[in-house]
Structure 1
Amino acid sequence: MDGDMHGERRPDTLLLTLTGKDRPGVSSAIFATLARAGVEVLDIEQIVLRRRLVLGVLVTAPRDWKKLRAAVEQTAAELGMAVEVERGSGDNRARRGGRSHVTVIGTPLKASAMAAIVGRIADCGANIDRIVRMARYPVTAIDLHVSGVDPEALRGILATEAATQGVDIAVQPANLLRRSMRLIVMDVDSTLIQGEVIEMLAEHAGYGNEVAEVTEAAMRGELDFEESLRSRVKLLEGVDVSAFDEVYDAIVLAPGARTLVRVLRRLGYRFALVSGGFTQITDRLAEDLGIHFSRANELEVVDGKLTGNIVGEVVDRAGKARALREFAAELGLTEAATIAIGDGANDLDMLNAAGLGIAYNAKPLVRDAADTSVNVPYLDAIMYLLGISREEIEAADLEAGVVTPAPPV
């Protein structure tokens, strides 16, 4: 007879949920108890929040399952922890199709925002299978593993909620591309660096304000990029080449730029700069940061002075996308294995061509068209979208002898 001495039907599985203060030896004690019962482990989940442990273990149920329950309860008591033993039938259910990683970034991340986000996920019939914290400082980043809804449909639903709640939300299909070696193609002005190089050069010609106004309009998509670029470059006629050194020395990288490149290079990622700016600056940035590829416009220089002209074809909106495809092909990668990061209208084709297009502190036109947007002022926050946590970044830097600032207590 398949049952216990009282005729109660024996369950197929037991779910053990252990909670209490985390300390060394908790897991080993529980599994030693399970080992003596000869059960099989079907699933395990464990989290630690502020040194509070939640350990869930799904095991096959032995014939005398009540004896195992008593043994587990005794072990938990000796550990000063609480345990719940739930009877059931069958293995843990498989996750449904339509699987996504939903990364939420906030500064701060309020409970009201999370309530709205998870509510929208539930409204479309999806399920949150797992939640993992990716970072707690200087931003809060949370990764939700979601199943049961098409990623593209979920992206559209959550984009509206992100704008309403004032947080960043990235939705990506849960596939192997997220873990593979990829090419990251970055815009330079107002993305990799703070500010616009052409405006800095224009200050040397006395046209800083005029050029800044045209640049802003071009980045909003209100002007033809090539036409506006040539008209701005004309104003640089006569500027001495020494201005390049002065501008380069004044450049301020986006916070987290060096960290992004340093950490991902260790993982085998390749990087490219594709800019509507100028090779006299971008080539030096690429060399300084260890960037593999670089493409930008070249300013003509004659007798140590800028002529106000550009050498060769202009790297415009279409040229940026073309550069991304050429660099990917050189590495033997598909476009799906590329990530593009930019902020202006001339980045739109590049963002659309990439497997993942990220609008970084971008103009509204660009945010609306990109796969996702990051609006916090930290370029390395993009690594959270790739499944890399702050703790992993800091541990990798520590191994390499790089000291990172400690977060506030």
Structure 2
Amino acid sequence: MREIVLINITGEDRPGLTAAITGVLARGGVNILDIGQAVIHNTLSFGILVEIPHSAKASSVLKDLLFTGYELDQQVRFTPVSEADYQQWVGGQGKPRHIVTLLTRKVTAEQLQRVSSITAQYGLNIDHIDRLSGRMPLDTPDERGKGCIEFSVRGEPADPAALRAEFLSVAQELNVDIAFQQDTIFRRNRRLAVFDMDSTLIEAEVIDELAKAAGVGEQVAEITERAMRGELDFRASFKERLALLKGLSEEVLADIGAGLRMTEGAEFLFAELKRLGYKTAILSGGFTYFARQLQDKLGIDYVFANELEIVDGKVTGVAVEPIVDAQRKADLLRQLTEQEGLRLEQTIAVGDGANDLPMLAIAGLGVAFRAKPLVKQSAKQAISTLGLDGILYLLGYRDREGRD
């Protein structure tokens, strides 16, 4: 008669502990049915589900384990498991799995409580909880903090849209970001990342900066804001704004380009993507002149943006076809995906405006970054709390895996 026993071991972590425990089990001819181990602040939590072939051996094996645990200053607890319960557990494998990622400047108990309550409410079981972010000193200023907790959950929510809506509501209330993704083979196997430029890679809308120099700043900024919110057709609004720049001196471009600031985390993100073998691209409704500058700084592979036509040293105000609008961004993403021999599931798209939504929708991972409310609600994922490097966490990246 066999026995199934769950063994829980807790105590101060130390080298050789796992070898000692499994050595006792090996001498008893024990089969391992499941195993898991975690160390938090040098404290070990070790669980092993075992099958002891003969009940006559069980008492001897468990007694030896208790003695070994005592010698290693560990607490050992045994829980019998019936065969019926074990079979029910086996029957649960193959259920859909999802990843819930919490991104925040500082992790709090309230954030974890709200996330875990929502997952339970929608019938999802939490299997694992991991910290992806690095260890933060206690005196780290909030604006420089970076925290990420990843939940691996099992099950399928009855209403995924309602679940996402609740996560979005809590995210806004607590000033955090909460991502919900299927845990598939593609999540850690993306290979192409495409980005909007203005207000995504850089902290400005270049056309607004050009408009200020041309003396039509307020007029153009108002049109830009409405277009990014999705209230105006991007293509028409782009032509309207560009026409207002007619006569602007070419000399202004260099000054504006020199003053553009890259978004927090951009340089680290692109360095890591390059190290991991990604191809990267700018797909922007902005201007090639400025996109090329970013390409040189960040080592970006492809640039697709709008040409700023200049004749006799002056901006003509005429749009050069083809205009990179919402549909063209999506078409370019498909084109690059095919060109690189990839599937759309292996792509990442990042943007902040309504004209980014089509490419965000078809990408394997579509991220609305510091986006307008309409875009944030419509995109698969959203990041507003951390910098661009927060995207790495959605891939399962751990800070300790980064470059020194």
On the 8 A contact 2:29/2:52 being kept in 1, the answer is no
State the distance in 2 between where 1:173 and 1:39 align: 35
Name the structure 1 match of 2:258.
Answer: 249
- What is the alpha-carbon root mean square deviation over aligned residues? 2.0
- Cross-structure match for 1:380: 389
Does 2:147 correspond to 1:140? yes
- Taking the aligned partners of 1:310 and 1:253, their CA distance within structure 2 comes to 26
Tell me whether 1:260 sits opposite 2:260 in the alignment.
no
Secondary structure, counterpart of 1:178 in structure 2: coil
Q: CA deviation at 1:334?
A: 2.5
Residue 263 of structure 1: CA displacement?
Answer: 1.0
Deviations 1:8-27 (A, max 9, x none): xx51x222211111222222
Is residue 30–residue 75 contact of structure 1 (8 Å, CA) maintained in 2?
A: yes
What displacement does 1:49 show?
1.1
Partner of 1:221: 230
Partner residue, 1:406: none
Question: Hey, what does 2:141 align to over in structure 1?
Answer: none
Q: Which residue of 2 aligns with 1:66?
A: 59
> Which structure 2 residues correspond to residues 111-150 of structure 1 after superposition, within 5 A?
111-136=109-134, 138-150=145-157
Q: What amino acid sits opposite 1:105 in the alignment?
A: L
| Secondary structure of the corresponding residue to residue 295 of structure 1 | strand
Query: Given that residues 250 and 315 in structure 2 are in contact (C-alpha distance below 8 angstroms), is that contact kept between their aligned partners in structure 1?
Result: yes
Corresponding letter in the other structure for 1:335? L
Look up the equivalent residue of 1:27 and give its one-letter code.
T
Partner of 1:105: 103
In the alignment, is the contact (CA less than 8 A) between 1:339 and 1:356 conserved in 2?
yes
Q: 1 CA distance for matches of 2:355 and 2:122?
A: 35
- Give the Cα–Cα distance (whole angstroms) in 2 for the partners of residues 310 and 299 of structure 1: 8
Structure 2 match to 1:23 = 14
Please say if residues 96 and 148 of structure 1, whose CA atoms lie closer than 8 Å, have aligned partners that are also in contact: no
**Identity %, equivalent residues:** 41
The partner residue of 1:275 within 274, 284, 299 is 284
1:383 offset after TM fit, Å? 0.8
The alignment partner of 1:176 has SS state of: coil
TM, length-normalised to structure 1? 0.88
Q: After superposition, what is the alpha-carbon deviation per residue over 1:103-159, rounded to whole angstroms, capped at 9, x for unaligned?
A: 111233332232222122212222111111111553221111111214945435533
User: Structure 1: which 4+ aligned runs deviate by more than 6 Å?
Assistant: none
User: Displacement of 1:319 after TM fit?
Assistant: 1.5
1:1-400 map, 5 Å: 2=1, 10-11=2-3, 13-63=4-54, 64-90=57-83, 93=90, 94-95=92-93, 97-136=95-134, 138-150=145-157, 152=160, 154-393=163-402, 397-398=403-404
CA distance in 1, matches of 2:5, 2:53: 9
* Other structure's SS at 1:83 match: strand
- Residue 387 of structure 1 aligns to a residue whose secondary structure is coil
1:334-381 CA distances to partner (integer Å, 9 max, x unpaired)? 223222111111111111122221111100010111011111141011
Superposition deviation, residue 288 in structure 1: 2.2
* Equivalent position SS for 1:193: coil
Q: Is the 8 A contact 2:180 2:381 kept in 1?
A: yes
Following the alignment from structure 2 to structure 1, what is the Cα–Cα distance between the partners of residues 77 and 253?
68
> Could you tell me which amino acid in structure 2 is paired with residue 108 of structure 1?
K
- The SS at the match of 2:68 is helix
Aligned partners of 2:13, 2:262: CA distance in 1, in Å? 41
Tell me, in whole angstroms, the C-alpha distance in 1 between the residues paired with 2:314 and 2:18: 71
What residue number does 2:140 align with? Answer: none
- Paired amino acid for 2:236: E
8 Å CA contact 1:181–1:268 kept in 2: the answer is: no
Checking the alignment, whether the CA contact within 8 Å between 1:95 and 1:147 is kept in structure 2 is no
Deviates more, 1:304-313 or 1:122-131: 304-313
Structure 1 unpaired stretches of 5+: 3-9, 399-409
Distance 1:127 1:54 in 2: 20
- SS class of match (1:252): coil
SS at 1:181 equivalent: coil
CA distance in 2, matches of 1:237, 1:327: 33
Gaps of 5+ in 2: 137-144
